[in-house]
Amino acid sequence: MNTPTSTPLATPLLTSARLPHDLRSFSSSQLQQLAQEVRDAIVEQVRLTGGHLAPNLGVVELTIALHYVFDFAYDRLLFDVGHQCYPHKLLTGRAHLLPGLRTRTGIAGFPEPRESSYDLFSVGHAGTGISTAVGMARGDTLTREAFHPTQNPTGRRVVSLIGDASIVNGVAMEGLNNAGTLARQFLVILNDNGMSISKPQGGLSQYFDRLRVSHLYSDVKKGAKRRLEHFPGGERIRGAIHAAGEATKAIYHQDAWFEHMGLKTIGPIDGHDLPTLIEYMREARDFDRPLVLHVKTVKGKGYKFAESDSTKFHSPNAFNKVEGELDEEGCRVELKSDGRSFTTAAGDALVNLMERDPRVVACTAAMPDGTGVSKVLARFPERSWDVGICESHAMDMMAGLAKTGFKPFFAVYCTFLQRAFDQAFQEVSLQGLPVRLLLDRAGLVGGDGAVHHGFCDISLLRVLPDAVLMAAMDEASMVAAMEFMRGPGGDKGLTALRYPRDVVSPRFANLPCPAFSLGKARLLDGPDFTLGEVPDVAILAFGTPAITACESGSVLHNSEGLKVSVYDARFAKPVDRELIRSLLGAGVPVLTVEDHSIVGGFGSAVLEAAQELGLDSSLVTRYGLPDRWVYQDSRAKQLAEVGLDTAGIATAAHRASRPAQAVSRRG
């Protein structure tokens, strides 16, 4: 079915129908109209505000078929790669919230149980959907609520929708392995669009590529469907599975891949053919064993630009709808058109390092554009890798490269670093291997919300002996930090550099940036204590909050006459103990500021240093992300909400300048 050319009917269905309740009464033409309305609504909204475009356009028909066949007010729908949820949200009574997409007044960009009972988990990391679905399937079995074709035909069914190449994730593999042991209905829908965020990597993705492009692909479909027609009742799906399995064996001389894990497999089928989708799902709905339905879709379906370049249109910024007049920067993954992003700066700096040092190698985990590594992959294909959605593997691979004498840089979103912490502990830090981490999207990330905030990397990595943790406040400091990591400073063990999803500040661009020296802070503004100038309060800021702190210091000086010294702390481990000793020893109140959780972060490191040095820790006030969740909105609004804007830091510094009233903010 080619939805973009369908003829709309007079009455809009997306806003007038009671969805998904009325969906099962729709005619074929109404279903086609609904698909077009959903697609049009998503394109128009993302055009205005940005958001995940291509992945959602690719699952419109698939999502309609799911809600047509199943009743997810009762049945279980578990998402993997939650950025494919927009059609689901529009079909479950949230179309009126679409104008507030990725803000506090509208829908989140990922499944969110706070919004609707149709969303079972907040989903932002890949690979989790099958395992959580297995858990719910086992729970429903224990409570005797599970579907059984004879014993409980009205029971709950369980469906896990996985796609965008997250099937290669290690957690997904573990989930599949255990799902095969279920003795009940359990449906995994593999949305195979041949893409993750960019081109997927690895042997498994190549297996699916071969299956999709084989000239026998249509024979698999036709053979399965013919066999389906010859089996009555519940036996029809068994016949289709057998036909698909036999056809696959004819191609590869082996069983269907998933069947090795105990899951019957059918497909691939056309994920944009609504009648076929509905037909197969109806049969799969009543199958009493674990089943994989392999669905072939086109990422970006129905929108020319998204289909032709689904990487750029995976999650674009707002863009011009007129074809041929799209703003190039507005369609980049880093989503910034009003300045040079930290991501772009990191990619350029990494290219520079690799040009100067043949031992520098790099990798990313399915985020080449989002981390800037795409430039490296193009320039140095023999020394750089995209391993797909496999952060744990990437960390271990970098450890292996370090063991052979190379200087590996692993560029990863801060939130996804968490998935490789065990490897950072066991294979990197414990071995004393020099692996360098570039942590993009550190701190608050804006519209992606709580599932993507990078708020606990310092807490996690600070426990590792000999780890060196740094933050960049602007491009010059980023370049200096990466040079430190490439050189002797990065040769002793794990090093990490964090930076936000934001544009770099030009405030200090015209001033020389001192080289990084282990555990040494940099004075940015205000009285210089080393010259005998004593401030009323000293702000030790970690990362980009240092830029904001300079603005806050100016506000306090102009309005209150306070003398405020602002330092770019540079290191969260080791902290500048000499500076802390000097300031606290002279009775100067210290305010620590960070775009990280106040629990276990940079401020905690300063407090610990003060205690170890026998200094008055009551002079230290910590300021950072509160101990609560911060939900989707613009990054600027989120920073203001938690008090990390100019006004908030100025208020905190003013309070800290009066030690008797200075207390640690705990959210």
SS3 track for 149-184: CCCECCCECEEEEEECCHHHCHHHHHHHHHHCCCCC
Q: How many whole angstroms separate alpha carbon 312 and alpha carbon 499?
A: 22
37, 61, 112, 391: the active-site residue: 391
Instruction: Determine contact, residues 323/305, Cβ cutoff 8 Å.
Output: yes
Does the annotation count 501 as an active-site position?
Answer: no
User: Other CB atoms closer than 10 Å to residue 250's CB: what's the count?
Assistant: 12
Q: How many whole angstroms separate alpha carbon 424 and alpha carbon 402?
A: 13
Task: Give the type of residue at 276.
Answer: T
Does the annotation count 391 as an active-site position?
Answer: yes
299, 383, 407, 486: the active-site residue: 299
Instruction: Determine contact, residues 479/349, Cβ cutoff 8 Å.
Output: yes
Write the DSSP assignment of 362-375 as a string of letters: EEESS-HHHHTHHH
SS3 track for 298-351: CCCCCCHHHHHCCCCCCCCCCCCCCCCCCCCHHHCCCCCCCCCEHHHHHHHHHH
Q: Tell me the two tokens of residue 188.
A: 């995994």
Does the annotation count 419 as an active-site position?
Answer: yes
Write the DSSP assignment of 526-540 as a string of letters: S--GGGTPPPSEEEE
236, 264, 375, 419: the active-site residue: 419
Q: Tell me the two tokens of residue 463.
A: 């426990």
H/E run at residue 361: strand 360-364
Q: How many whole angstroms separate alpha carbon 312 and alpha carbon 54?
A: 9
Furthest CA-CA distance within the chain: 92
Total count of residues recorded for the chain: 667
Q: Tell me the two tokens of residue 291.
A: 């089943």
Instruction: Determine contact, residues 398/408, Cβ cutoff 8 Å.
Output: yes
Q: How many whole angstroms separate alpha carbon 667 and alpha carbon 665?
A: 6
Q: Are strands 522-525 and 468-471 parallel, antiparallel or unpaired?
A: unpaired
Q: Of the candidates 162, 164, 160, which has an alpha carbon nearest to the alpha carbon of residue 194?
A: 164
Write the DSSP assignment of 385-453 as a string of letters: EE--S-HHHHHHHHHHHHHTT-EEEEEEEHHHHGGGHHHIIIIIITTT---EEEEET-B--STTGGGT-
What is the set of active-site residues?
A: 299, 391, 419
